């Protein structure tokens, strides 16, 4: 490799799997450093990771997966950052495939999970919806919006640290940020393995949070692509209702007025959001 590679692994209570993951990465002999961010673990994750050969940074309490990613990215010295899970789902042997795409000139390469790699049918369906919506927003095929296994140009990734949430939706945010900034994004097919230990995702709490991903995708990329269709639907509905009431009753109703004003309001919110989004990605250099 013609560049230094830093692997960042967020870990919370992964003492049972982290050593194996680190060992497999070291055996590749292509990584400059392995940074494990111990996110407030209550087990022996910290010592196990350190003994296995990783540099360990510990949070005094659990701040979230995204917060661990940001901590690791800030501490990493490599020109290329590789992010992966500590639970054994992501195979270190797939790292060279990601780096090969980076060498070809891509700024972000995502490990796209293939059929059968999803933890559950419900999650697979949700991810399918996210991918289709993100593809609509970007005009590019998004193969896996929520995969946490990815490689990125370190300098460009760090441009978006302030945008990344502290929770589990950092992959979504970073992917859309790279698209919005005009950087090159590619995908490499991977097959995720069965995770070791217990998942930290809570179906109800995180299910609601993942629903918000849809709205975050819109506001991060191009808000008008979300707000304009809604505005048009309300306007057409209001116009149709007005035509009906005028034709049959010769009057303009309050409902038509409400639909028209709501349509205008949503359009203006979308327009302002579009301007704010543009400022977020303004190149100050």
Same-domain check for residues 102 and 27: yes
Question: Average pLDDT for residues 192-220, to the nearest whole number?
Answer: 63
The pLDDT value recorded for residue 230 is: 93
Please report, for the domain that includes residue 117, its CATH number.
3.90.550.10
Q: Are residues 133 and 95 in the same domain?
A: yes
Residues 179 and 119 in one domain: yes
Computed from CA positions of residues 129, 132, 136, 141, in that sequence, does the dihedral angle turn out positive or negative? Answer: positive
Residue 285, pLDDT > 50, answer no
Residues 229 and 197 in one domain: no
pLDDT at 283 exceeding the cut of 70 = no
Whether residue 265 sits in one domain with residue 145: no
* 180 vs 80, residue with greater confidence: 80
**10 - beta bridge partners?**
37
Is 265 found in the same domain as 186? no
pLDDT at 206 over 70: no
Residue ending a domain, among 173, 203, 233, is 203
pLDDT at 211: 63
> Is 126 a domain residue?
yes
The span from the CA of 90 to the CA of 86, in Å, is 8
Find the domain containing 276 and state its range.
224-280
Token pair of 275, please?
Answer: 């301007």
> What is the rounded average pLDDT for all residues in the chain?
87
Task: For residue range 4-28, list pLDDT tens digits in order.
Answer: 999 999 999 999 999 999 999 999 9
| In-domain check, residue 214 | no
Whether residue 239 lies inside any domain: the answer is yes
Separation of alpha carbons 78 and 206, rounded Å:
32
Report which of residues 222 and 161 the model is more confident about: 161
For the ranges 63-67, 154-158, 188-192, 215-219, the lowest mean pLDDT is seen at 215-219
Q: Is pLDDT of 205 > 80? A: no
Domain count, the chain: 2
**pLDDT tops 90 at residue 137:** no
Q: Are residues 239 and 162 in the same domain?
A: no
Same domain, 185 and 228: no
211 assigned to some structural domain: no
Do 31 and 91 lie in one domain? The reply is yes
212 part of a folded domain: no
Judged against a pLDDT cut of 60, whether residue 138 lies above it is answered with: yes
CA distance 161 to 106: 19
* 176 in a structural domain: yes
**Residues 147, 190 share a domain:** yes
156 and 56 within one domain: yes
Assess whether pLDDT exceeds 60 at residue 270.
yes
Residues 196 and 121 reside in one and the same domain: yes
- Banded pLDDT at 241 (limits 50, 70, 90): very high
Q: Summarize the confidence of residues 40-58 as an average pLDDT.
A: 95
Domain-embedded: residue 208: no
Answer whether residue 215 is part of any domain.
no
Rounded percentage of the chain residues whose pLDDT exceeds 90: 60
Which residue did the predictor score with more confidence, 95 or 193?
Answer: 95
């Amino acid at each position: 490799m013609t560049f230094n590679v830093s692997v960042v692994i967020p870990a919370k209570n992964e003492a049972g799997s982290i050593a194996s993951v680190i060992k497999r990465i070291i055996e590749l002999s292509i990584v400059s450093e392995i940074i494990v961010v111990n996110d407030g673990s209550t087990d022996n994750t910290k010592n196990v990771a350190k003994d296995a050969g990783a540099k360990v940074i510990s949070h005094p309490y659990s701040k979230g997966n995204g917060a661990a990613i940001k901590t690791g990215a800030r501490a990493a010295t490599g020109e290329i950052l590789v992010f992966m899970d500590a639970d054994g789902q992501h195979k270190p042997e797939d790292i060279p495939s990601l780096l090969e795409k980076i060498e070809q000139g891509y700024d972000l390469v995502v490990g796209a999970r293939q059929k059968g790699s999803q933890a559950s049918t419900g999650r697979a369906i949700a991810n399918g919806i996210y991918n289709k919506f993100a593809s609509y927003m970007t005009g590019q095929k998004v193969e896996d919006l929520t995969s946490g296994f990815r490689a990125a140009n370190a300098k460009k990734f760090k441009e978006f640290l302030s945008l990344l949430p502290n929770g589990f939706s950092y992959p979504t945010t970073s992917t859309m940020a790279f698209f919005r900034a005009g950087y090159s994004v590619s995908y490499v097919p991977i097959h995720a393995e069965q995770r070791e230990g217990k998942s930290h995702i809570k179906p109800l709490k995180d299910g609601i949070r993942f629903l918000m991903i849809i709205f975050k995708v819109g506001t991060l990329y191009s808000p008008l692509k979300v707000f304009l269709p809604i505005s048009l639907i309300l306007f057409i509905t209001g116009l149709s209702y007005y035509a009906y009431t005028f034709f049959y009753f010769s009057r303009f109703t309050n409902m038509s007025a409400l639909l028209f004003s709501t349509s205008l309001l949503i359009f203006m919110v979308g327009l302002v959001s579009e301007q704010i989004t543009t400022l977020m990605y303004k190149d100050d250099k």
